[in-house]
Every structure is written in C-alpha cells, then in structure tokens.
Amino acid sequence: MRVGVISDVHGNLDALEAVLAALGSVDALWCLGDVVGYGAAPNECVARLRALDAVCIVGNHDLAALGEVSLDTFNGEAAAAARWTASALAPESRAWLAARGPSTTVESALLAHGSPYDPVWEYVTNGRTAARCLTCFDGPLCLIGHTHVPSSFVQRPDGQLQAEYRVEGDVLELGEARALANPGSVGQPRDEDPRAAYLVFDSERATLTWHRTPYPVAAAQEKIIAAGLPPRLARRLAAGL
C-alpha cells in the first residue's frame, strides 16, 4: 500500500492542493493533525480531507479551534489565529474535527500529532525524547507531526538511536528497525525551506520517502492578510519559518 502522509496543514489550502497534486494516486491518505489554525482556509482544508476520506487525528491547534484546550500556552499570534479559526469554522467542519481522536493505529503504524507519550502537546525534537517515546508503543512505526520539521528517530535492533533531519528525496528503509518519523508541515514549514512537506509510506516495502513541493505562497499570504490574521503569519510562509 502506498500511503501519503501529511501533517500540519494549518488551513493552507494552496499548499494542501499542491501536495495532493504532487502525491498523485495513493491507496490512502493519513493526516497527523493541525488541519486548521494559522491559515485562512480552515473549512476548505477540512472539506478536502473529508472528501478524500483521509485517516486524520487532531492536533493542539484543532483542539484550540474547537475550544477544547486552553490558549494559555499559545503565543499571541497563535492564540489570535485560534480565535479567528474558531469563529470561521463551519458547523460541519467543527463536527468532523470533533469526531477525530488524538491518536490511532492503522496498518501497524501509530499516528500521533505530538508524540506517542503525549499526542497533543509533546514535541519530539531530540534523541532523548524519542528514546522515551519508543517505549510508549509496540509496533515498528509511529508517525508524528507538531514540530513542522521533517525528521526521523530510528532505533536499530542493537538499540542504537539515530536522529536525523530529512530533506527531499531521503529514503528510510525500516527493515528490523523501529522509528518515529515526521513528514514536516504542509502549510507552515519551519526548516527554512518554504516548500510544502510530506512523505510517502510504502507499507509492503516498509520504506518512508520524504518529499517537498513548491506551492503558490503569495496566494496563501494574500488570504491570510485579507482575513485580518496577524501579518507575520503570512510573512513567515515565504521564509519557511
């Protein structure tokens, strides 16, 4: 099975459409949360994933837009965007997001937005956190998002753990290893590469391949400005930060 794995769409329909076009035909689409928040097209992104029957979990920004988590830990711009998103969400978008869980297992892979230890909030950014997280699930693979940085944390059968940032074209052959893998962000990349990020999981070969695709950043920026969202949320898209 060839699976498109995406995360952190953040209401950026222009980036999502570019990724879906670049993915082409896949057997399934898995989304690791934060469908909304920051970007100006939350309903359109939800509708697109819903129509594609994507397996999707919720992230902290989805829960914030639903009013299910406090905005205390959000910075000013993120909180402003969460309030805007909450007011912009159509009832059917709200209902669809509210029906998603914080984690799920599909094809022997665990999907969690932050980490298998704390699916909503934890950032896996280093080997120490990853090592603890690898004890929190049984299968070979946990797919995570939340950091917006394409990366992998691979534990070989001898116990050795390798943490790596991932760039376009990188391939991970799982073999006997166990891993946490992050596709990066579709709608708000933060690794100084403004192109939308995603990965393809081949479940038969047990391989993960990281990809990037350009998208019309200016179109997404214009929508953010027109919506009255904080202008920095538009500017950062051009820098990939």
Can you give the binding site for Zn ion, defined by CB under 5 A? 8, 34
Q: Residue 185 in 3-state DSSP?
A: coil
- Give 188 or 209: the residue with its C-beta nearer to Zn ion: 188
- Give 8 or 17: the residue with its C-beta nearer to Zn ion: 8
Query: If we measure between CA atoms, which residue out of 204, 5, 210, 2 comes closest to residue 111?
Result: 5
- Give 34 or 44: the residue with its C-beta nearer to Zn ion: 34
Distance between CA atoms of residues 117 and 114, nearest Å: 8
- Give 104 or 162: the residue with its C-beta nearer to Zn ion: 104
Report the half-sphere exposure of 35 (CA within 13 A, side-chain side): 29
**Residue 8 Cβ vs Zn ion, minimum distance, rounded to whole Å:** 4
Distance between CA atoms of residues 75 and 59, nearest Å: 16
Q: Residue 174 in 3-state DSSP?
A: coil
Amino acid found at 112: A
- Give 120 or 179: the residue with its C-beta nearer to Zn ion: 120
**Residue 95 Cβ vs Zn ion, minimum distance, rounded to whole Å:** 21
**Residue 145 Cβ vs Zn ion, minimum distance, rounded to whole Å:** 6
Report the residue closest to Zn ion, judged by CB.
34
Pairing of the two strands 171-173 and 178-182? unpaired
- Please give the helix or strand (H or E) that residue 4 lies within, else none: strand 2-6
**Residue 120 Cβ vs Zn ion, minimum distance, rounded to whole Å:** 11
Sheet arrangement for strand 196-202: 55-56, 28-31, 2-6, 196-202, 207-213, 171-173
**Residue 61 Cβ vs Zn ion, minimum distance, rounded to whole Å:** 6
Amino acid found at 168: E
**Residue 119 Cβ vs Zn ion, minimum distance, rounded to whole Å:** 13
177 secondary structure, DSSP code: -
- Give 17 or 34: the residue with its C-beta nearer to Zn ion: 34
